[in-house]
Amino acid sequence: MDGLTPAESRELDQRLQKRQVKEFMTVFGNLVDNCFTACVDDFTSKALSGRESGCISRCVLKSMSTQTRLGERFGELNAAMTAEMQRR
C-alpha cells in the first residue's frame, strides 16, 4: 500500500474488511442453505431427528473441509505463479 496517505490506507483497510465480512456471510449462507435443503425433510417436529442432525454435521464438515482444501490449493497455485513470474 505504498503511496497511500494514512487516511487512504485506513479507508482501504475498512473496505477490505467489509468485503471479507460480506464474502464470509455469503459462504455461510450458502452452507446453511445447502445443508438444510439436503438434510432437513421432516417438518412435523421442532427438533431435528437424529438422522437430520447427523446429516447436517456431515454436510458442514464436508463443506468446511472442501473450503479448506480449496484455500490450500489456491495458495499452492498462487505460490507457483509468483515463482514463475519471478523467474522471468
Task: Report pLDDT digits (tens) over 39-78.
Answer: 999 999 999 999 999 999 999 999 999 999 999 999 999 9
**At residue 4, does pLDDT exceed 90?**
no
Number of domains in the chain: 1
pLDDT at 3: 83
Q: Give the range of the structural domain holding residue 52, as residue numbers without chain letter.
A: 6-87
Q: How many residues does the chain have?
A: 88
In a domain, 28, yes or no: yes
pTM of the predicted structure, to 2 decimals: 0.71
Computed over its alpha carbons, how large is the radius of gyration of the chain? 20
Q: Please, what is the average pLDDT of the chain?
A: 93
Query: What's the pLDDT score for residue 88?
Result: 82
Q: Is the pLDDT of residue 1 over 60?
A: no
Domain CATH code at residue 51: 1.10.287.810
Question: In this structure, is residue 54 part of a structural domain?
Answer: yes
Is 1 a domain residue? no
